[in-house]
Chains A and B, each alone.
Chain A
Amino acid sequence: MTATPATLRAPLVVEFPFTRSLGPVQAAFLTGLRERTVLGVRTEGGQVLVPPVEYDPETAAELRELVEVDATGTVTTWAWNPDPRPGQPLDTPFAWVLVRLDGADTALLHALDAPGPEHVRTGMRVRVRWAAERTGAITDIACFEPYDSERDAAPARPHDGLFDEPVTGIVAAARLDYTYSPGRAQTDYLHALAEHKTVGERCPSCSKVYVPPRGACPTCGVATTEPVEVGPRGTVTTFCIVNIKAKNLDIEVPYVYAHIALDGAGLALHGRIGGIPYDQVRMGLRVEPVWSEDGRYPDHYRPTGEPDADYDTYKELL
């Protein structure tokens, strides 16, 4: 037995600019923010919802009656955030607040810029601090700030929701950072690959050798543990010809991508076939891996020059 190598870890970034279209109510609300105007929507029951939604949360009735409310309001609850996280509205300590704007019956979540928690309380008066640059997004409200004034009684007033150049969509950018670790079986596999060896794992129940191993036999539902070196040579079981160049890939098209059953393996893995014209690759072709100089995995597989394998020797691995 060799010593257990350290579990591999690598940064994994998931980043996505979700592009979302807006309905008539959300479009009016977010365009309004760009124009320093806060809109709500009136329900059949007469409640004014801010932020507005297109369907009544209680009755599911379609809501379209837009109204304008004030940019001042009252804190209904709050929480002091001593340690702001990336992406949050302020990078200095602030209060999360639910604010019921004057004229509204429901509360909006946002940040309150205050010097410390002793300056925040439920019931305090606040007003919107507008962002200097506004694009039609919830972040057009930079945050709230304390507002030392009594509530003026202006009720919500009708608004047609019409603005020049209305916003019709948003891009909801998001990035999440992970540290990925592939677990014991794949770590062992990747360590062996770095030494130019392909090591699978045998199922103790059905004896099939899995390459790459994932630590479990999907047929038997048991852990695979016994390491088995396979290859290096193998047989092309099936293949396809890639004709469209992928973004950021410097492989010339057309090229062949194949299923390759390494000698001793219980199933085929994937690899690119090189060293032979694409239109001469065939089922049964015998191939071997080619490592690039500093590669941790085979760059591609090339023909060995052996006679083709007999169909019966690999038909179970297609």
Chain B
Amino acid sequence: MSRDPSRDVAIVAFAQSDSLRRTDDLSEVEMLMPVLHDVLRQTGLKTSDIGFTCSGSSDYLAGRAFSFTMALDGVGAWPPISESHVEMDGAWALYEAWVKILTGETDTALVYSYGKSSPGSVRDVLTRQLDPYYLAPLWPDSVALAALQAQALIDAGETDEPALAGIAARSRDAAVGNPHAQLRGARPQGDHVVAPLRQGDCPPIGDGAAAVILAAGDRARELCERPAWIRGMDHRIEAHSLGVRDLTDSPSTRLAARRAGAFDGAPFDTAELHAPFTSQEVVLRKALKLDETVRVNPSGGALAANPVMAAGLIRLGEAAAGIHRGESDRALAHATSGPCLQQNLVAVLEGEPHVR
């Protein structure tokens, strides 16, 4: 397939809130608005300049139906705008916006997502995404399901508790340089939450929001000194039932990566992996064939800040921001959703060798 350079799409700006354990004094739109203003300010765009707006969030986190409509106040949805919402992490909203730009319908898109885990019990809330016939009546929480995967990895000889603790420590050390992260610096692994996973193997529970602006071709070059070009992006899903999957592998990540072009071209210098549990990084590194030359989660990743529904979009944003700053030339970004890495999205981002 020949490529039309005017339809090359880039992430041209990224903003995120601090990830905080509680944000009682802020409604969702109050939490989101500074992030939207930040990302618009970076490009000089006004909301009326944006061709398409797409968001990701979850009613189950909010405990209210159609909760995303309230957040629309923050983007100035009057007069009417072209808008869409995914009941998923904002990474999938970014995918939708990318497709919209590829069709030629628009040259710019605003993508945002947010989640407040603090009002409810996120471990219980996430059980409601499970199969309602065979799984949900047993209330297996998100840590329990991740722990089953961790034990499968240990049994297969692919990791052990000290190795998992090493992933936890590396992630939180890296987060020292990330002012938005929730857990920064060394901390004890703690007791088993659900063995073999300890407190330190699990992500913090927090609230947060993120936003990204996408633009096509020359528009992207006008808006950003060094756009993070999306060279490929794909997402794949595996069978819902954990009992039919090999939990030590992630064929959906590997397939999405292949289709996104991750295994072609120059090696990656950076990978932002959406691995809320330490054990999931082991699975993703294998699926993506990442070796020690690749910087994994220099932001600290989801182990340092995991605002549900925004953590995947933040991976794409962090990878792009590294390119904007000139610290990275070719980065892989990954987002996940569902139990034990059920759904996976992979994007390949590149900066041009020469700044204009």
* Residues in chain A within 8 A of chain B (CB atoms): 7, 9, 12, 14, 18, 20, 22, 26, 30, 49-51, 53, 57-58, 76-83, 85-89, 96, 98, 100, 106-111, 117, 122, 137-139, 170, 172, 174, 176-187, 214-223
By the criterion CB–CB under 8 Å, are A170 and B30 in contact? no
Tell me how far the C-beta of A305 lies from the nearest C-beta in chain B, rounded to whole angstroms. Answer: 36
Give every chain B residue within 8 A of A179 (Cβ-Cβ). 119-120
- Tell yes or no: B76 within 8 A of A by CB: yes
Q: Is the interface of A mostly helix, strand, loop or mixed?
A: mixed
A9 to B63, CA, bound (A): 14
* Residues in chain B within 8 A of chain A (CB atoms): 24-30, 33, 36-37, 47, 60, 63, 70, 72-79, 119-121, 123-125, 128, 132-141, 144-145, 147-152, 155, 191-197, 239, 241-244, 247
Give every chain A residue within 8 A of B28 (Cβ-Cβ). 183
Tell me how far the C-beta of B326 lies from the nearest C-beta in chain A, rounded to whole angstroms. Answer: 31
What are 29 A-B pairs at a CB distance below 8 A? A12-B119, A26-B133, A76-B152, A76-B243, A77-B148, A77-B151, A79-B150, A79-B195, A81-B194, A86-B124, A96-B145, A96-B147, A96-B194, A109-B134, A122-B155, A139-B138, A170-B132, A172-B132, A174-B128, A174-B136, A176-B121, A176-B128, A177-B121, A179-B120, A181-B119, A187-B25, A216-B33, A221-B75, A223-B33
A20 to B132, CA, bound (A): 9
Tell me how far the C-beta of A82 lies from the nearest C-beta in chain B, rounded to whole angstroms. Answer: 6
Give every chain A residue within 8 A of B132 (Cβ-Cβ). 18, 20, 170, 172
By the criterion CB–CB under 8 Å, are A214 and B73 in contact? yes
Give every chain A residue within 8 A of B47 (Cβ-Cβ). 221
How many A-B pairs have beta carbons closer than 8 Å: the answer is 187
By the criterion CB–CB under 8 Å, are A53 and B27 in contact? no
- A7-B25, A184-B27 are contacts. A177–B120 as well, Cβ < 8 Å? yes
By the criterion CB–CB under 8 Å, are B195 and A117 in contact? yes
By the criterion CB–CB under 8 Å, are A57 and B239 in contact? yes
By the criterion CB–CB under 8 Å, are A183 and B241 in contact? no
By the criterion CB–CB under 8 Å, are A88 and B124 in contact? no
Give every chain A residue within 8 A of B76 (Cβ-Cβ). 217-222
- A216-B74, A218-B72, A223-B30 are contacts. A184–B25 as well, Cβ < 8 Å? yes
Among B136, B241, B242, the one with the most A-chain Cβ atoms within 10 Å of its Cβ is: B241
A186 to B144, CA, bound (A): 37
- A98-B242, A183-B26, A215-B30 are contacts. A78–B148 as well, Cβ < 8 Å? yes
By the criterion CB–CB under 8 Å, are B139 and A85 in contact? yes
By the criterion CB–CB under 8 Å, are A20 and B151 in contact? no
By the criterion CB–CB under 8 Å, are B151 and A138 in contact? no
- A79-B151, A181-B24 are contacts. A214–B60 as well, Cβ < 8 Å? no
- A12-B63, A216-B30, A218-B76 are contacts. A80–B136 as well, Cβ < 8 Å? no
Chain A residue at smallest Cβ distance from B34: A223
By the criterion CB–CB under 8 Å, are B138 and A88 in contact? yes
Tell me how far the C-beta of B340 lies from the nearest C-beta in chain A, rounded to whole angstroms. Answer: 11
Among A12, A83, A216, the one with the most B-chain Cβ atoms within 10 Å of its Cβ is: A216
Extra contacts besides A79-B148, A217-B73 (16): CB < 8 Å: A49-B244, A53-B241, A78-B151, A79-B151, A82-B191, A87-B137, A89-B138, A96-B145, A109-B135, A109-B242, A111-B138, A139-B137, A184-B26, A184-B27, A215-B27, A219-B76
